[in-house]
Amino acid sequence: MEIELSKLETILGVVFIDKNYLLSAITHRSYLNEHKEATQEHNERLEFLGDAVLELVVTDYLYKKYPEKPEGELTAVRAALVNTVSLAESAQKLGLNDFMLMSKGEAKDTGRARQYILANAFESCIGAIYLDQGYDAAKKFIGEQLFNKTDKIVEKKLWQDAKSRFQELAQEKVSITPSYEMLSQEGPDHDRMFTIGVFLRDEKVAEGQGRSKQEAEQDAAEKAIDTKGW
């Protein structure tokens, strides 16, 4: 594990004083269920902390970068920068996936479920850096990983939620208002996964998944924009 952690430290650009913070950051709850001998905590508490640090750092950055933008737009830009897809993409780019400690079952998961795990691990790493090295180190890490996405988000109006963007584009390009239809729902109440289709009249353009209907609709709209090349 030491070798793996030192590799991860190199990737994150941080040498930890307390390696346990880093070890916990990459430990999914499911891993501890299968490895009773493990002594580290899983990463949910670190994720909780990292989420708060991330929000403050990004809010501070956007507030200073866009002095002319109103609160509502800044909130939307921030949401686009720190949503599951954006964080999972940054985690993937770092190669966090290769270091995650998960149960065999979770390790097989791909797609949306894996995105959640990676996004959460990204926030956990922020929490770990903050506890071990302080606010400035966490701010530096977040800046290096996320701030370069901001111009594209603002320029392409990616801060608008995907449903609004797809509706605007569909009305502009084909004069149709998209409709959404539930295709399936799976899993127990506390861990439900919804699949929703987005349609332009009779044409099913894309399918989306999420832990709520709203999230599945947003995912479907995002994929529909890609599918149409809009």
Supply the residues annotated as catalytic: 51, 123
| DSSP type of residue 101 | B
For residues 118 and 121, give the distance between their C-alpha atoms in angstroms, rounded to a whole number: 5
Strand pairing report for 193-200 and 203-210: antiparallel
Return the axis-axis angle of helices 112-133 and 44-65, rounded to nearest 10°. 80
- Which alpha helices (DSSP H) does the chain contain, by range? 2-12, 19-25, 29-34, 44-65, 71-82, 84-94, 104-108, 112-133, 135-146, 150-155, 162-174, 213-228
Helix (H, G, I), strand (E, B) or coil at 109: coil
Q: How far apart are CA 179 and CA 85, in angstroms?
A: 23
